[in-house]
Amino acid sequence: MAKKALVTGILGQDGPYLAQHLLSQGYKVYGMIRRYSNPNFENLEYLNLMNEIEYVDGDLTDEASLMGAIKFIRPDEVYNLAAQSFVGGSWEQAKLTTEVNALGVLHLLNAIKYFAPTSRFYQASTSEMFGLGLNKHDGMQDEGTPFHPRSPYGVSKVYAYWMTVNYRESYKMFAANGILFNHESPIRGIQFVTRKISDGVARIKLGFAKELHLGNMDSMRDWGFAGDYVKAMHLMLQQDEPDDYVVATGENHSVREYAELAFKHVGLNWKDYVKTDPRFQRPAEVPNLKGNSEKARKKLGWEPTVSFPDLVAMMVDADLKRVEKRNR
Ligand code: NAP
Ligand code: F7E
């Protein structure tokens, strides 16, 4: 019989890529959707997956809805991708961010504990938990680097990380944390800097905008391709023992470099269009993230396949097509 996987956050960026990968491995995929007056299936449509998934209702802030879903599906694997995932918005909505990203994970772990205790659980942990933390030896971050989160988002994810470890240790549940560094794609949310730039470049190139306003351009991020990173999530749940893994490319670049490459890809100079704008500065910044994913590479056999320049080109090309189509 096909394995059953429940994916929360199915309408986001990672949900569709993970669903695509699980379907290719023969899984039956259930996608959780919260109550919304007008749910947006655009990302699933982009990968042509709308009709491949069985949808279940549920919200991370509503424990009973999670219990109902887990009891109904009794999944072999649960991937918790749902979150208020925008760091920049987490100061204004710190309570909501905590309720979804921290307590929501406790609710989900309880639902699994009561109704599907042998189910394997993946928690979407993040490099934002490291914040200012740097590995003393190489200036990178790995599984042993101390956490020093710099936003309500980062703090909420530290709680969820430790609760996942705690349920593993307390109840012998197969619960794993993937500590993923930034990963992007053509279906990245428009508020994140990579997609904001690729969309801005496309609109400027096609004559629909004149400027692009950005915040801190010195920030360094380790950017990979989401399609690669979801494969690491799946691999983590196929191991003999549950564990936590950093997933990253090991290379980082500044926001300025991303913008420079994106504009260059369409034959423009970023300096002519980008304006720095204090509205996009954060109260506390994470200046430098670069992940050491040696453990995932050795134990999971995972490797990233898309280079930084190819990722930038992929995103800009996709937005050029989108903007053109929308305005045709
Ligand atoms: P995303 O595009 O923001 O998707 C998050 C999804 O969570 C959305 O579909 C959203 O639903 C859903 N959601 C929000 N609140 C919910 C709630 N209360 N109950 C149920 N669902 C809810 O995020 P992503 O980029 O795919 O990232 C997936 C996960 O990995 C997130 O947990 C994120 O924090 C984490 N992460 C991401 C990165 C990265 O670089 N992308 C790196 C490390 C970790 P709606 O569509 O209804 O809004
Ligand atoms: O910002 C700077 C900003 O919002 C990246 C989430 O998926 O990855 C993501 O979090 C950097 C920051 O992503 C703008 O200050 C400059 O230093 O694209 P971002 P993020 O905050 O790194 C982690 C791993 C997650 O877990 C999160 O869920 O870019 N920046 N100017 C800007 N950022 C935005 N959004 N907009 C700007 O105009």
What are the tens digits of pLDDT across the range 44-79?
999 999 999 999 999 999 999 999 999 999 999 999
Hunting for tokens 């305005």 — which residue is that? 327
Q: Which atom of ligand 2 is nearest to the CA of 286?
A: 17
pLDDT of residue 238: 98
Half-sphere CA count of 168, side-chain side, radius 13 A: 18
Which one of the ligands is nearest to 127 CA? 2
Region 35-40 average pLDDT: 84
Domain-embedded: residue 294: no
Cβ of 183 below 6 Å from ligand 2: no
In degrees and rounded to multiples of 5, residue 43 shows phi and psi of: -70, -40
**pTM to 2 decimal places:** 0.98
pLDDT band with cut points at 50, 70 and 90 for residue 137 = confident
Q: Is the pLDDT of residue 133 over 90?
A: no
Q: Is the pLDDT of residue 166 over 80?
A: yes
In the residue annotation, 153 being an active-site residue is answered as: yes
Domain-embedded: residue 301: no
- Which pair of structure tokens corresponds to residue 279? 């509205």
In the residue annotation, 27 being an active-site residue is answered as: no
**The domain spanning residue 315 has which CATH number?**
3.90.25.10
CA distance 320 to 206: 8
Region 304-324 average pLDDT: 98
CA distance 246 to 222: 12
- Which pair of structure tokens corresponds to residue 153? 């988002």
Averaged pLDDT of the chain? 97
- Which pair of structure tokens corresponds to residue 111? 């639902």
60 and 139 in a single domain? The answer is: yes
92 and 240 in a single domain? The answer is: yes
**The domain spanning residue 13 has which CATH number?**
3.40.50.720
Query: Quick check: helix, strand or coil at residue 32?
Result: strand
Domain-embedded: residue 296: no
Q: In what order do the strands lie in the sheet with 245-247?
A: 54-57, 28-33, 4-8, 77-80, 120-126, 175-180, 245-247
230 and 217 in a single domain? The answer is: no
Q: Is the pLDDT of residue 304 over 80?
A: yes
Quote the domain boundaries for residue 209: 189-221+252-289+306-326
pLDDT over 70, % of the chain: 100
Q: Is the pLDDT of residue 36 over 90?
A: no
pLDDT of residue 151: 98
73 and 204 in a single domain? The answer is: no
66 and 198 in a single domain? The answer is: no
pLDDT of residue 39: 83
Per-residue pLDDT reduced to its tens digit, 168-224: 999 999 999 999 999 999 999 999 999 999 999 999 999 999 999 999 999 999 999
Domain-embedded: residue 153: yes
- Please tell me the total count of domains within the chain: 2
137 and 280 in a single domain? The answer is: no
> Of 30, 122, 153, 245, which is the active-site residue?
153
Count of CB atoms within 10 A of residue 257's CB?
17
Per-residue pLDDT reduced to its tens digit, 216-234: 999 999 999 999 999 999 9
Q: Is the pLDDT of residue 131 over 80?
A: yes
213 and 161 in a single domain? The answer is: no
Please name every residue paired with 32 in a beta bridge, in sequence order, or none if there are none: 8, 56
Domain-embedded: residue 298: no
Region 257-284 average pLDDT: 98
Domain-embedded: residue 171: yes
Q: Between the CA of residue 203 and those of 6, 185, 200, 211, what are the distances in Å?
A: 37, 18, 5, 9
Q: Is the pLDDT of residue 258 over 80?
A: yes
Alpha helices in the chain (DSSP H): 14-24, 42-46, 63-73, 94-98, 104-115, 152-171, 193-205, 226-236, 255-265, 294-295, 308-326
CA 253 to ligand 1 center in whole angstroms: 24
149 and 199 in a single domain? The answer is: no
Domain-embedded: residue 299: no
Q: Which residue, by CA, sits nearest to atom 20 of ligand 2?
A: 87
Domain-embedded: residue 110: yes
Region 299-311 average pLDDT: 98
CA distance 193 to 213: 10
pLDDT of residue 135: 78
In degrees and rounded to multiples of 5, residue 122 shows phi and psi of: -110, 125
Cβ of 185 below 6 Å from ligand 2: no
Q: Is the pLDDT of residue 139 over 90?
A: no
Region 141-159 average pLDDT: 97
257 and 159 in a single domain? The answer is: no
12 and 137 in a single domain? The answer is: yes
Q: Between the CA of residue 218 and those of 54, 222, 261, 266, 317, what are the distances in Å?
A: 43, 13, 15, 23, 25
pLDDT of residue 56: 97
Ligand 1, pocket residues at CB < 6 Å: 8-9, 11-15, 34, 36, 59-61, 81-85, 100, 124, 126, 180, 182-183, 189
pLDDT of residue 240: 98
87 and 134 in a single domain? The answer is: yes
Q: Which residue, by CA, sits nearest to atom 30 of ligand 1?
A: 124
From 173, 209, 170, 214, select the one nearest 196 (Cα to Cα). Answer: 214
75 and 199 in a single domain? The answer is: no
